[in-house]
């Protein structure tokens, strides 16, 4: 994975989290040029959430925190390029370059910190409780237990996944599994991409879960 360097960037109206599948259809000349450059390079680009403006036409304002996307497949469909990729990790822009010939920034991936000592158990315990809350929220919206309790989420909610052999990487992976499953908007998702160690991000995720719960309760049982 590249360090701090020049990255092609795709500003979007959606916020992807590590582990997300990324499906894009490109038709603007600048992004067609961008994907050509990506494909002849290492197959990586960054994506960030737009804070103001539109995906099409430029002149948008954008957040600095986003994700690295690895292209898995790209093919031409009638003059458009359909890109399938995977968000692999967090990324942050250090400085933005002119959008010529396409959006670019000096930036770098944000590598996950190690989780040590008591924090390991605290994180694992919190993630199991948060997974239980997310299952409950999803069930409230869908009424379908199978959709609400997808296998990876159910495993975390049950709490049986934790033991002393669980690594920092495992903890980060579980965190993103719970975060991806939470039915929330792009700004809430973006907040989880901001810099911070894993305990801090777990606290942030708890706040988002509580916020989403309030919105769902209001929607289902308005005053």
Of 187, 8, 151, 28, which Cα lies nearest the Cα of 85?
8
127 lies in the same domain as 178 = yes
How do strand 44-52 and strand 5-12 relate by DSSP bridges? parallel
85 lies in the same domain as 62 = yes
Number of domains in the chain: 2
Phi, psi of 207, deg, nearest 5: -65, -40
- Specify whether the CB–CB gap between 191 and 204 falls below 8 A: yes
Distance from C-alpha of 177 to C-alpha of 206, rounded to nearest angstrom:
14
pLDDT at 218 over 90: no
Domain final residue, candidates 62, 80, 110:
110
91 lies in the same domain as 124 = no
pLDDT, position 58: 60
Domain final residue, candidates 57, 90, 110:
110
98 lies in the same domain as 171 = no
100 lies in the same domain as 127 = no
Q: What is the pLDDT of residues 139-183, one digit of tens each?
A: 998 887 877 788 999 999 999 888 888 999 999 999 999 999 999
101 lies in the same domain as 178 = no
Residue 54 pLDDT class (50, 70, 90 cuts): low
DSSP 3-state of 61: strand
DSSP 3-state of 74: strand
Residues 6+ positions from 173 with CB-CB distance below 8 Å: 19
Which residue range(s) make up the domain with 129? 118-220
pLDDT at 59 over 80: no
195 lies in the same domain as 156 = yes
168 lies in the same domain as 142 = yes
DSSP 3-state of 30: helix
pLDDT at 190 over 80: yes
Domain final residue, candidates 57, 77, 110:
110
- Specify whether the CB–CB gap between 64 and 40 falls below 8 A: no
135 lies in the same domain as 214 = yes
Distance from C-alpha of 1 to C-alpha of 109, rounded to nearest angstrom:
8
49 lies in the same domain as 67 = yes
Residues 6+ positions from 21 with CB-CB distance below 8 Å: 84, 85, 86, 87
Distance from C-alpha of 92 to C-alpha of 111, rounded to nearest angstrom:
11
92 lies in the same domain as 128 = no
- Specify whether the CB–CB gap between 9 and 50 falls below 8 A: no
pLDDT, position 162: 86
Q: What is the average pLDDT across 199-211?
A: 97
151 lies in the same domain as 204 = yes
């Amino acid at each position: 994975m590249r360090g701090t360097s020049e990255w092609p960037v795709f500003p979007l109206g959606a916020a992807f989290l590590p582990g997300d599948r990324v499906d894009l259809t490109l038709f603007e000349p600048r992004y067609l040029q961008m994907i050509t450059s990506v494909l002849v390079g290492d197959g990586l680009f960054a994506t960030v959430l737009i804070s103001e403006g539109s995906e099409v036409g430029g002149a948008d304002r954008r957040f600095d925190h986003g994700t690295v996307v690895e292209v898995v497949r790209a093919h031409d469909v009638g003059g458009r390029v359909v890109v399938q990729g995977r968000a692999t990790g967090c990324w942050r822009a250090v400085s933005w370059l002119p959008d010529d010939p396409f959006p670019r920034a000096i930036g770098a991936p944000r590598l996950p910190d190690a989780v040590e000592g008591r924090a390991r158990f605290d994180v694992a315990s919190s993630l199991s409780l948060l997974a239980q809350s997310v299952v409950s929220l999803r069930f409230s919206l869908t009424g379908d237990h199978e959709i609400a309790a997808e296998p990876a989420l159910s495993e975390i909610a049950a709490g049986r996944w934790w033991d002393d052999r669980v690594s920092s990487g495992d903890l980060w992976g579980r965190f993103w599994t719970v975060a991806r499953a939470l039915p929330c908007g792009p700004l809430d998702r973006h907040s989880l991409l901001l810099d911070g160690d894993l305990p801090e991000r777990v606290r942030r995720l708890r706040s988002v879960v509580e916020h989403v719960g309030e919105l769902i309760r209001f929607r289902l049982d308005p005053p």
